[in-house]
Structure 1
Amino acid sequence: MTPDQMRDASLLDLFRLEAEAQKQVLDTGLLILERDPSNAGQLEACMRAAHSLKGAARIVGLDHGVQVAHAMEDLLVAAQEGLLRLLPEHIDALLQGSDLLLRIGQAQQDADLEARIETVTSRLQVLLGNAVPTLRLPATSPEAQETPAEAGDAAEPASAPASATLEPAVPEERTSRVLRVSAERFDHLIDLSGKSLVEFQRTKPLSESLHRLKRQQESARRTLETLREHLLGSDLDATAQALFNESRNLLIKCQQQLQGHQELFDDFVWHGGQRTQQLYDLALASRMRPFSDVLTGQTRMLRDLGRTLGKQIRLEIEGENTQVDRDVLERLEAPLTHLLRNAVDHGIEPPALRSRKGKPAEGVVQLRARHHAGMLVLEVSDDGAGIDLQRVAEAVVKRRFASAEQVEQMTEEELLAFLFLPGFSMSQQVTEVSGRGVGLDVVQHEIRRMRGNVRLLLQPDQGCLFHLELPLTLSVVRALVVTIGGEAYAFPLAQIERMLRLPRSAIVQLEGRQHFWLEDEHVGLISAAQLLQRQEKQDDDDSIPIVLIRDREQYHGLAVEAFLGEFTLVLMPLDARLGKVRDVAAGALLHDGTPVLILDVDDLLNSVGKLLGTGHLDRVDHASNARQTVSKRVLVVDDSLTVRELERKLLLSRGYQVSVAVDGMDGWNALRAEHFDLLITDIDMPRMDGIELVTQVRQDPRLRTLPVMVVSYKDREEDRRRGLEAGADYYLAKASFHDEALLDAVQTLIGGARE
């Protein structure tokens, strides 16, 4: 709440805020006191919280709040003075009082509110009177019965509501300022900072262009100096000499200016890149909250549930300060609560049974949170009885999910997968806790919606372990970027099992489908291009890039065209007017500005099921069969239309397939998008010259073995050496160019058009 809102808020609103803050103090402290009743620090904190709420309720005029808080304070003061020892029944009554104070502050008009207040207050007084009869005080006149602690703070209640909203519960944060900003503004800030980060990457090509321009100017200067040396022995009139000197001086000035501009621009690119990255990181960090924020009330919930079921439960938490995106925390609360309740209801045994097994009477539920490989990893485990696989098998047969014969042949992993099916429950009867068939499928569905996954690991008679992997934020995603149909697509890393390169010889035909062996298991092979209804680009590589996804216990291998690498992508939601685009979750931009679609893996699995139902599957290794009959392809890169057309016609006459590009950049884009058997390039071209193009080709893992021929007017030995050192396989000078020379060179490099 901002200061302006604080001034405009009613006293009741301020009391509600204080009740929410002090309830957290009370709940936390009381649960600690249940295990350590003599903890003086927590006794003091709880007493002060009840005392503050009593004073605040008196100012607001909430007599019921005064009544409840006063009774709680009396009991806590008696515990402080050693007149009673806090037992679980005391903690029960105090927790009920804490809940009632929050309801009173929220002005909930329950028909039974007054009755509950009277019941809880009476119970608190009875507990106090049973332990210390002389301290039993009438709750109807608290002003006349103030405790010593209250009398010493007579002026405090008047400022209690306001101070509670300004004082954080955590002492270490007393000096920090908190500003509330709407979620929409935060989302907009992250969106803009992410786009700024991507857009700023476009300055790098401009910087590289300036460096090329500098090299070209230096080359022009050397050419001019060479011309000057040739003209020194000749007679030039004064006008020609003056023009020559003027052009030389102008070129030197241009070089100096370009040098200065380039240094300034490089400095701008460096510092600007650092600041845009810092802006994005800071905006993203502003959304981050400690994992403990989602744990509010979980300890209390487990304690109350355990008391209801007659079980003793202790919740152990590791990684409370692990930073997670606010949206992830909000959506994580429901599945996490379900897993914790499951651990108490289905996992932890009653104390008598645990004693017979040699276990402590108190069951332990562990919750661990940590960062790993850019992901949030959660583990929820218990030391209960685990899962009886025989009971699972019986439930599967009883609910007719599978026959008894099929169940007998299932592995442990396959049986456990049934627990995640809708409507599947192991409870024998319907209770308030379980038995209604709303089970782990809800957990799995919500985790997958957050682009995560959940696995169940079983330890016989030692409990269960649920392993969850989630993105740290829903604003960015760590993804594997691939090419499908010549375009970029991204798979969220958390939703794929692995990636691999499969030799074409490893593909086998089984029951009308293509498969391959992976760790003694058959995995079906599907063309990603067919799945996304894209035109597949043929490739002659001996191996096929495969992305492995999983549908419960079954794997599917999606054949793609190339792996482009792993990237952290800023999510850009699709326009709502498009509705739900099949198989696509969102969009993003790569660092070079290339658009990429982020795939919805759950949607892809549905599409896989439909495609398998049709039975019309494309072969993913057809390129190896086709390459014997398809003509070899040559890319000609030259900025001269005449030279381009001459070379194209010569090659076509010999049966080669020919594509052309107007400069180095155009040729580089063509090489990345299509397959070629040979590259023929000029050297002097705009945007990207031939030397740079050859260098890029040799640095690319997919293209480094591509044969390259340089055809240039430059016939000097140093020019030839530059081309060959850059990685060219053949250098042909245009001065000695003729039809047979070009064709003989092509024949030498790649053979005939259809070999």
Structure 2
Amino acid sequence: MSGASLVDLFREEARTQAQILSDGLLALERAPRDPVTLEACMRAAHSLKGAARIVGIPVGVSLAHVMEDCFVGAQQGRVNVDAAMIDVLLAGVDLIVRIGQASGDETVPQAEVDTFVDELNGRMNGDAFEVDRPSSETPVTDAFFGLSKELTLAAPVSEDMPRGPEPERPLPAWSPAEQRESTRMLRVRTDTLDRLLSHSGESLVESRWLKPFAQSMLRVKRIQRDASRALDFLHESLTESSRSSNPESGMTPTAALDVRTLAALDEIRRLNAEAQRQLGERLVELENYDRRATHLSQQLYDEALECRMRPFVDATGGFARMVRDVARSLDKQVRLVIAGETTEVDRDILDMLEAPLGHLLRNAVDHGIEAPSIRQALGKPPEGTITLEARHSAGSLFISVSDDGGGVDLAALRRAIVQKRLSSETTAARLSEAELLEFLFLPGFSMRDTVTDVSGRGVGLDAVHDVVRQVRGSLRVTQEALAGTRFLMQLPLTLSVIRSLIVEIDGEPYGLPLAHVVRTLVLPRASIELLEGHQHFEFEGRRLGIVTAHQILRAGTFNAAGNALNVVVIGQGAATYGVVVDRFLGERMLVVQPLDKRLGKVPNIAAGALMENGDPLLIADLDDWLRAVEKLVVDGELGRVSQGTAQAAAVPKKRVLVVDDSLTVRELERKLLASRGYDVTIAVDGMDGWNAVRSDRFDLVITDIDMPRLDGIELVALIRRDPQLRDTPVMIVSYKDRAEDRQRGLDAGADYYLAKGSFHDQTLLDAVRDLIGEAQP
């Protein structure tokens, strides 16, 4: 990192820590001995001292050092943080702000800092100390703390930095050649950048595998601890047995055996204690590595993602000229204001925005801004203003086009809807403002009676709507009579990562992009009403149609487990519906994995992704879902559950644990068994299977042999040795089909041995039925 970058980081650090210190000192004025506030202030001063030392700003080091000493003294009860002391410390905060604002070789004079240090030291030592503090040439204002932050990294600071005299280090010069080098642009192929982002995303997912692995190792540590206790108990038992021998009869063979046994046990205990110590150390190292790997992978992904981002201004170059030309052709006066030019936008999204934004801007000039004479009659300036703004908020990109024109003529819009036979006159009269405005996005819809070079063809707003939907976004319009119209696009920050609601449908996880999710609800089953043969429920004063996700995906049959229904509300406006899912699994950021193009368009599915544990899931295409729901609401129903069916569904299914490190085999076995009604849980290796079988109840365990961490033979042996699990049926399914392999598995305690090379669907199902019967009794 160059010296200039370090200076920028220090400025950000000074700004942040000054705010923390200022807030903390004001809090200490109300509670002078609050330990949490004192600790926060001490840490802020300590971090600032380390940052100033790294950059080579000795006045910052001296200033932060004495303030840190003051807070440490207050923590220890040696320093009284009274109002006078806070006045001095706040003056120190002012100096910190000035040091952070200084540029180039300019900085706060050393003499001024020395005066502050002497005054603070004097007050800490109990001396009456009054010094005329020179006025600052750069007064601190509240605006300083409200500056936008371009940097979010803080300079690394060690927690155990020495507190001795601080060496002075000149700030390295940054030559013009170095400046040119730092901003040098390189051309990179798009597909290369996409591969880099894909690999970094996979790296991020893989790094998150370490945490559950480390947690599983903690279980191993607990097992070893239990083994140690068992050894201690055995050692005590043998010691008591040895002591009970008759000492007058001399050393008996049994006693001699006990002595040898005790010696061997002592050695085993010593080795076990050493193994436990080393395991503990390795676990600490693994946890540290997990943190470093996850942090590094996150940084790698963030940097790769940043390479895809471009400033919003890159897409706005020709808009000012276009607005001017359209306005002149319509004899209007219009000014375009662009806000958020530096807002970072995904490259692919930015490339798709030029045409939609052009449509919206032309629409604003033509339909929104009035003629100068009309504006003057309304008391407005003759020149209208159109504002194009881009901003980030709540994990989304918002782009708006607004004007200060006359708004939408709702009466004319109603007439156009009726004239185009899109609604009856009676129905159009009942439509709300929001429902009326949605008609603007219909294909071929226009409020112009004649076609001009600018409008009248009805191909503008529907094209905008289509593009927004393609990038998994949404488009809304609002207006105020005589005050203007606003079109707001909500788009994902990137097409590579999407925040999704994870739900379970027929035992499978699915991701629902949050941009299309209105609300999640848990509804009592009694709240579903049947009106005119269709099922509805009450939502924000409206009645919404409702279906199940099983009907949309044609996946299994929905059976309500109880009286509560998990409902996802999707869509917008009149096209808003409720979809019932089995379970909510939370929200996650998903790295989007496009489906293979050879598959074509998969109905109801947009892409794939990997969850944090590496499990695959499908990302729903909610536009497809909405189209499917519209059909289902007409002739479909929310799979009603009669009393008899509900009772049958409540009967527990036979539970099977499938343990295999091959994803293909694991999924094949799971789907075969699930299709016959068994409740199937999967484990990715022997240790995962051992943890699962001990923490839950299963009617059958199906396991492979060759697996990492714990093989199938060892897993069978552990199950057979456990008093609580020894009666659980176990089937081995392995590629090893030699007689000796089969005998080894049966000797370990397996009830059935099936070779993968010879089994087919019915063979596996028949074997399972022979061992535990049908899925439901």
Scaled by the length of structure 1, the TM-score of the pair is 0.61
- 2:199 matched residue in structure 1: 192
Amino acid at match of 2:652: R
Q: Which amino acid aligns with 1:247?
A: I
Q: What letter corresponds to residue 578 of structure 2 in structure 1?
A: G
Matched residue SS, 1:628: helix
The one of 483, 488, 499 equivalent to 1:462 is 483
Give the partner amino acid of 1:632: V
CA contact (8 A) 1:551 1:605 kept: no
For residue 428 of structure 2, the aligned residue among 407, 410, 414 is: 407
Tell whether the 8 Å contact from 1:413 to 1:553 is kept in structure 2 after alignment. Answer: no
1:218 aligns with 2:225: yes
Deviation, 1:305, is 1.7
Map 1:204-603 to 2 at 5 A.
Answer: 204-233=211-240, 234=242, 235-237=255-257, 239-536=260-557, 538-550=559-571, 552-603=573-624
| Distance (Å, rounded) in 1 between the aligned partners of 2:275 and 2:189 | 52
Amino acid at match of 2:313: S
Separation (CA, whole Å) in 1 of partners of 2:688 and 2:307? 40
What's the offset of the Cα at 1:448? 0.6
Deviations 1:194-243 (A, max 9, x none): 01111222222221222111111122112112211221231243543443
8 A Cα contact 2:400 2:486, kept in partner? yes
RMSD: 3.4
Distance 1:515 1:664, change over 3 A: farther
C-alpha offsets along residues 98-130 of structure 1, whole Å, 9 cap, x if unaligned? xxxxxxxxxxxxxxxxxxxxxxxxxxxxxxxxx
1:60-99 to 2 correspondences below 5 Å: none
Q: What stretches of structure 2 of length at least 5 have no aligned partner?
A: 1-175, 243-254, 659-676, 711-721, 727-775
Q: In the alignment, residue 208 of structure 1 is paired with which amino acid?
A: Q
User: Which of 638, 663, 672 is the equivalent residue of 1:619?
Assistant: 638
1:529-574 alpha-carbon deviations (Å, 9 max, x no partner): 1110111353423321111112652311000011111111000000
> Given the superposition, is the C-alpha separation of residues 541 and 297 from structure 1 closer, same or farther in structure 2, using an over 3 Å criterion?
same
Q: Which amino acid aligns with 2:511?
A: A
Partner Cα distance (2:694, 2:595) in 1: 30
Does the C-alpha gap of structure 1 residues 375 and 529 become closer, same or farther in structure 2, counting only changes over 3 Å? same
Instruction: Note the C-alpha offset of 1:528.
Output: 0.7
Q: Which amino acid aligns with 1:321?
A: T
Letter in 2 for 1:207: A
Alpha-carbon distance in 2 for matches of 1:526, 1:393: 31
Secondary structure of the residue that 2:613 maps to in structure 1?
coil
User: Where do 1:89-238 residues align within 5 Å?
Assistant: 175-233=182-240, 234=242, 235-237=255-257
Deviations 1:618-671 (A, max 9, x none): 4345276633345632777999xxxxxxxxxxxxxxxxx997989995599799
Residue identity matched to 1:176: T
Contact 2:558–2:639 (CA<8 Å) still a contact in 1? no
Return the offset for 1:294: 1.2
For residues 466 and 268 of structure 2, what CA distance do their matches in structure 1 show? 72
1:302 positional shift: 0.9
Q: Distance in 2 between matches of 1:671 and 1:626?
A: 32
Shift of 1:290: 1.4
Residues 516 and 268 of structure 1: CA distance in aligned 2, closer, same or farther (over 3 Å):
same
Distance of aligned partners of 1:232 and 1:631 in 2 relative to their CA distance in 1, 3 Å threshold: same
Distance 2:582 2:425 in 1: 43
Amino acid at match of 1:190: L
Could you say if the C-alpha distance between residues 175 and 279 of structure 1 is closer, same or farther in structure 2, counting changes exceeding 3 Å? closer
Does the aligned pair in 1 maintain the 2:593–2:609 contact within 8 Å? yes
- Alpha-carbon distance in 1 for matches of 2:475, 2:432: 19
Write the distance in 1 (CA, Å) between the matches of 2:287 and 2:624: 45
Uncovered stretches (5+) of structure 1, i.e. residues with no partner: 1-166, 640-656, 673-677, 689-709, 715-753
8 Å Cα contact 2:552/2:629 also seen in 1: yes
User: Does the C-alpha gap of structure 1 residues 341 and 670 become closer, same or farther in structure 2, counting only changes over 3 Å?
Assistant: farther
C-alpha change, 1:227 and 1:347, in structure 2 (3 Å) is same
Residue type of the partner of 1:599? A
- Closer/same/farther in 2, CA of residues 630 and 318 from structure 1, 3 Å limit: closer
Partner of 2:66: none
Separation of aligned partners in 1, 2:385 and 2:645 = 62
Q: What is the SS of the residue equivalent to 2:647?
A: coil
Does the 8 A contact of 2:468 with 2:491 survive in 1? yes
Alpha-carbon distance change, 586 to 387 in structure 1, aligned in 2, over 3 angstroms: same
1:487 CA displacement = 0.4
Instruction: Tell me, in whole angstroms, the C-alpha distance in 2 between the residues paired with 1:219 and 1:402.
Output: 75
Residues 587-624 of structure 1, C-alpha deviations (whole Å, 9 max, x = no match): 001111121111111111222233345x2x24345276
- Contact persistence 1:385–1:461 (CA under 8 A): yes
Q: Quick one: which amino acid aligns to residue 195 of structure 2?
A: H
2:185 maps to amino acid: V
Counterpart residue identity of residue 503, structure 1: P
Say which is worse superposed, 630-639 or 494-503, in terms of deviation. 630-639
Shift in CA distance, 188/403, structure 1 to aligned 2, threshold 3 Å: same
Worse-matched range after superposition: 547-556 or 192-201 = 547-556
Residues 386, 293 of structure 1: alpha-carbon distance in 2 compared, 3 angstrom cutoff: same
**The residue matched to 1:622 in structure 2 has which SS?**
coil
Q: Distance in 2 between matches of 1:638 and 1:374?
A: 39
Output the CA distance in 2 between the equivalents of 1:183 and 1:660. 43
* Aligned 1:619-658 pairs, distance under 5 A: 619-622=638-641, 626-630=645-649, 632-633=651-652
Q: Which amino acid aligns with 1:619?
A: L
Provide the rounded CA distance (Å) in 2 between the counterparts of 1:513 and 1:350.
Answer: 49
Letter in 2 for 1:210: M
Query: What CA distance in whole angstroms lies between the structure 1 residues aligned with 2:401 and 2:540?
Result: 29
Task: Provide, for residues 244-290 of structure 1, a one-character-per-residue CA deviation record: whole Å limited to 9, x for no partner.
Answer: 33322332332233233222222211111110111111111111111
Task: Give the Å deviation of 1:352.
Answer: 1.2
Cα distance change on mapping 1:248 and 1:386 into 2, 3 Å: same
The secondary structure found in structure 2 opposite 1:465 is: strand
1:628 and 1:209 map into 2 onto residues whose CA distance is: 38
Q: What CA distance in whole angstroms lies between the structure 1 residues aligned with 2:488 and 2:524?
A: 33
TM-score (normalizing by structure 2): 0.60
**For the structure 1 residues 636 and 465, does the alpha-carbon distance in structure 2 shift closer, same or farther, using more than 3 Å as the test?**
closer
Contact kept in structure 2, 1:484 and 1:536, CA below 8 Å = no
| Alignment partners' CA distance in 1, 2:185 and 2:642 | 61
**In the alignment, is the contact (CA less than 8 A) between 2:544 and 2:576 conserved in 1?**
yes
Seen in structure 2, the aligned counterparts of structure 1 residues 312 and 562 have a Cα distance that, compared at 3 Å, is same
Percent of aligned pairs with the same amino acid: 43
1:463 is displaced (CA, Å) by 1.3
CA distance in 2, matches of 1:532, 1:658: 21
Name the amino acid aligned to 1:622.
V
Shift, 1:681, TM fit: 11
Other structure's SS at 1:393 match: helix
